[in-house]
Structure 1
Amino acid sequence: MADPNQAPSVTRDGGASSSNARSRPTSLGVYDRPRAGGITEIEVIAIALSLLWLIGTLVFFVFLAPDSGEEPGAGLRGVMTLLAVILPLGMIWVAATALRASRMMREESQRLQAAIDAIRHSSGSQLQGNRNAVDQNLSRKLDEVIATVRKTENALAALSTPHEDAPRPAPTAPAAQPAAPEDQPTLALGTEASDRAAPLSAEDFTRALNFPETAEDEAGFTALRRALKDRSAAQLVQAAQDVLTLLSQDGIYMDDLRPDRARPEVWRQFANGARGRTIAPLGGIRDRSSLALANARMRQDPIFRDAAHHFLRRFDRTFAEFEKQATDEEISTLADTRTARAFMLLGRCAGTFD
Structure 2
Amino acid sequence: MSDDQQPKPPVDLGIYSRQAAEVGLDPADRIALIVSAVWVLICVLFLLVVGLGDASILGPMRYLIVALTVLVPVALIWIAALAVKSARIIREESERLQISMDAMRQIYVTQAQMAATTMGPNVERKIDEIVKGQKRAETALEHFATSRTTPAAPSPERPVVPAPQPDPRRNLPEEQPDLALGTTAEDYANPVSTADFITAMNFPETADDRAGFDALRRALADRRASRLIRASQDILTLLSQDGIYMDDLNPDRARPEFWRRFALGERGRTVATLGGIRDRSSLALTAARMRQDSIFRDAAHHFLRTFDKTLASIADGLSDQEIAAIAETRTARAFMLLGRVAGIFD
TM-score by length of 1: 0.52
Q: For residues 9 and 292 of structure 1, do their structure 2 counterparts lie closer, same or farther at Cα, with a shift above 3 Å needed?
A: same
Of 301, 320, 324, which residue of structure 2 is paired with 1:328? 320
Distance in 2 separating the partners of 1:278 and 1:261: 15
Percent identity, aligned pairs only, is 58
2:260 aligned counterpart, secondary structure: helix
**CA separation of 1:302 and 1:265: change in aligned 2, threshold 3 A:** same
Over 3 Å counting, the alpha-carbon distance change for 1:195 and 1:231 in structure 2 is closer
User: Offset at 1:219?
Assistant: 1.1
Q: What is the aligned partner in structure 2 of residue 234 from structure 1?
A: 226
Residue correspondence of structure 1 range 54-203 to structure 2 within 5 A: 141=140, 143-149=142-148, 151-152=149-150, 188-191=173-176, 194=186, 197-203=189-195
Matching residue within 255, 264, 268 for 2:260: 268
- Aligned mate of 2:244, from 252, 267, 274: 252
- Give the Cα separation in 2 of the matches to 1:345 and 1:136: 32
Please, which of 289, 300, 307 is the counterpart of residue 299 of structure 2? Answer: 307
Q: Distance in 1 between matches of 2:339 and 2:258?
A: 15
In 2, Cα distance between the equivalents of 1:259 and 1:202? 23
- Taking the aligned partners of 1:256 and 1:193, their CA distance within structure 2 comes to 40
**SS at 1:222's partner residue?**
helix
CA distance in 1, matches of 2:136, 2:263: 34
Supply the AA of the counterpart residue of 2:229: V
Deviations 1:213-259 (A, max 9, x none): 11111111111111112211100000000001111111111111110
Structure-2 separation of matches of 1:278 and 1:189 = 49
Alpha-carbon distance change, 14 to 309 in structure 1, aligned in 2, over 3 angstroms: farther
Structure 2 equivalent of residue 319 of structure 1: 311
2:290 pairs, out of 279, 282, 298, with 298
In structure 1, the residue matched to 2:86 is 8
Deviation string, structure 1 residues 10-45 (Cα, Å, up to 9, x no partner):
656999xxxxxxxxxxxxxxxxxxxxxxxxxxxxxx
Distance 1:195 1:275, change over 3 A: closer
Deviations 1:87-145, CA, capped at 9 Å, x for gaps = xxxxxxxxxxxxxxxxxxxxxxxxxxxxxxxxxxxxxxxxxxxxxxx999887655434
1:58-90 alpha-carbon deviations (Å, 9 max, x no partner): xxxxxxxxxxxxxxxxxxxxxxxxxxxxxxxxx
Per-residue CA shift, 1:168-208, capped at 9, x if unaligned?
xxxxxxxxxxxxxxxxx967412587377353221111111
CA positional deviation for 1:291: 1.1
Secondary structure at 1:258 match in 2: coil
Instruction: Report the Cα distance in structure 2 between the residues aligned to 1:137 and 1:353, rounded to whole angstroms.
Output: 43
Q: How big is the shift at 1:319?
A: 0.6
Aligned residues: 210
SS in 2 for 1:274: coil
Native 8 Å contact 1:282 1:353 kept in 2: yes
Q: CA RMSD in A?
A: 3.8
Task: Kindly provide the amino acid, as one letter, of the partner of residue 352 in structure 1.
Answer: I
User: Is the contact made by 2:146 and 2:217 (CA closer than 8 Å) also made in structure 1?
Assistant: no
Q: Is the 8 A contact 1:194 1:229 kept in 2?
A: no
Is 1:216 the counterpart of 2:208? The answer is yes
Paired residue type of 2:86: P
What SS does structure 1 have at the residue aligned with 2:192?
coil
Partner Cα separation in structure 2 for residue 236 and residue 323 of structure 1: 15
1:351 aligns with 2:337: no
Is 2:274–2:336's contact at 8 Å kept on the other side of the alignment? Answer: yes
> Closer, same or farther in 2 for the Cα pair 1:286/1:326, shift >3 Å?
same
Change (3 A) 1:142 1:189: farther
Q: Which runs of 5+ in 1 are unaligned?
A: 16-133, 154-184
Q: Tell whether the 8 Å contact from 1:284 to 1:344 is kept in structure 2 after alignment.
A: yes
